[in-house]
Amino acid sequence: MKRVWGAAKFVGRWAGPALLILAFTLLVFPPTPFGEASVTPALWAVILCAVAFVLARGPANRKRRLLLGLAVCAGLALYGWRSWDERRGYREETIAFDSQGTRLVGTLFLPERSGTVPGMVFLPGSGAVPRSFYRHYAAHFAKLGFAVLLYDKRGIGDSEGKVATRNFLDTDADNNFEQLAIDASAALSFLEKRSEVRRDLVGISGVSEGGWIAPRAAELNGQAAFMLNITSPTIRLYDVLEYQVANQGLSGRELAVAKHRFAADFDPLPSLRVINIPGMWIMAEGDSLVPNEPTIRILDGLRASGKPYEYRMISGAWHGLIIAPKSLVLSTIDDWLAKVTKTHKAT
C-alpha cells in the first residue's frame, strides 16, 4: 500500500504541474480552431495536484504543499474560466424531428440575441459517433450569431432507426449516403420553421462525410441558402476509398469488397452542377483521408462554369481541422459567412 501511495504522490507532484503548464501553453498557442484545448489538461492537473497535496503531509512537505495548493487554485481558475467562456453567448435546446417516419434527436444552439438569426444545419463526419463529439463546431457558429442544428444520425445516440453508416466499409447499400442526405434535408426543413430563424437564410455545413453529402441534401431540400464544407471531397466514394488504400493501409481485398458493395457509387458532382448557392470548401494540407487535388480540379471546373464556389487550403492542418492554425481557420470561415449573410437577399 505504501508503494501505491508513494506512486500517487510522485505522479501528482510531477505530472500535475506538468499538465498545468501544458494547459497554459495550449491556451496561448491553441492547436485546434474549434473548442478549448486547455480545458481537459487543466482539469487533470487539478485532480493530480490535489491528490499529491492531500498525500504530502508533515513539516518537511510544507513548501511542497503550498506549491501544490497554488497549482490547484491556478488549475481551477483556468478550468472554470475556459469552461464558462466556452458556453457563454448561446443556449442549447434538445429537439426532435421526423425523417421518413424515423425520429431524429438533436441539439439546437441558439445565440443569445434578439430578433431572427441565420440558421445552419451542421452534419457530422463518418462513424457511429454521438453529436456531442461535434458540439465545439456548433458552439462556434452559434457564437457568430447562427442558430445551429446538430443532430445524431439515425441509429446513433438518441436517434431512432438503423445505423446508416458506421464507416465506409460497413455501409448498408439500402441505407447509405442517400438516406443521410434525405435526413439532412429534413433537418433543414425543420430549422427553417423555427421562429428564431430567418427562413430565407438557412444554410448547411458539415465536416468530412457531412460536407460530402451536403450538396445532395441542398439539392433535395431546394431552400438552402449557402454551404460550408470542412475537409470534404467532391469526388466519388470509391475514388476516396482508393486514396485511403494508399494513405491509410486499407487492403486490396477490402477495396474489392467495397467496390462490390458500392455498385451504385455515391457522387456529389451531379448535385454540385444542379444547385447554385454560395459554397466554401476548407481543405487541410495534411489530409490523409480526403484527396485534395481531384477535389480542387472539380471545384475549378465548376467555378469556370459560373458556380459560386470557393475553397481555401489551410497549411499545417489535419483532416477535420482537428489540428490547424486557429486564427487563419476562423478568420477564413468567419469572413466568408459574414459575406454570405450580408449579401444574401430575401426571396
d(CA 33, CA 11): 31
SS3 label, residue 93: strand
Indicate the pTM of the whole model: 0.87
Q: What are phi and psi of 219, to 5 degrees?
A: -65, -45
d(CA 287, CA 318): 5
Radius of gyration of the chain (CA): 23
d(CA 214, CA 224): 10
**DSSP code, position 321:** G
d(CA 143, CA 113): 10
Give yes or no for a contact between 197 and 233, defined as CB atoms under 8 angstroms apart. no
CATH code for residues 90-343: 3.40.50.1820
Side-chain half-sphere CA neighbours of 13 within 13 A: 13
User: What's the confidence (pLDDT) of residue 255?
Assistant: 67
Q: Which three three-digit cell numbers place residue 154?
A: 439515425
Q: Which residue in this structure is represented by grid cell 448498408?
A: 172
* pLDDT tens-digit profile, the chain (347 residues): 566 656 766 777 789 999 999 999 999 999 999 999 999 999 999 999 998 888 887 777 788 889 999 999 999 999 999 999 988 999 999 999 999 999 999 999 999 988 999 999 999 998 888 999 999 999 999 999 999 999 999 999 999 987 755 455 554 444 478 899 999 999 999 999 999 999 999 999 999 999 999 999 999 999 999 999 999 999 988 788 778 777 766 666 666 766 666 556 789 999 999 999 999 999 999 998 899 999 999 999 999 999 999 999 999 999 999 999 999 999 999 999 999 998 554 43
Give yes or no for a contact between 105 and 114, defined as CB atoms under 8 angstroms apart. no
CA of 271: how far to CAs of 184, 213, 267, 274, in Å?
Answer: 14, 9, 8, 5
Q: How far does CA 121 lie from the centroid of its chain?
A: 12
Give yes or no for a contact between 313 and 283, defined as CB atoms under 8 angstroms apart. yes
Q: What strands, in cross-sheet order, belong to the sheet with 279-284?
A: 90-99, 102-111, 147-151, 117-123, 197-207, 227-230, 279-284, 309-314
Domain ranges across the chain: 2-87, 90-343
Identify the bridge partners of residue 283 per DSSP, sorted by sequence position: 313
Q: Which three three-digit cell numbers place residue 80?
A: 472554470
DSSP code per residue over 148-211: EEEEPPTTSTT--S--SBSSGGGB-TTSSHHHHHHHHHHHHHHHHT-TTEEEEEEEEEEETHHH
User: What's the confidence (pLDDT) of residue 6?
Assistant: 66
User: What's the confidence (pLDDT) of residue 346?
Assistant: 40
| Contact partners, residue 165, CB within 8 Å, separation at least 6 | 126, 127, 153, 171, 176, 177, 180, 209
User: What's the confidence (pLDDT) of residue 259?
Assistant: 65
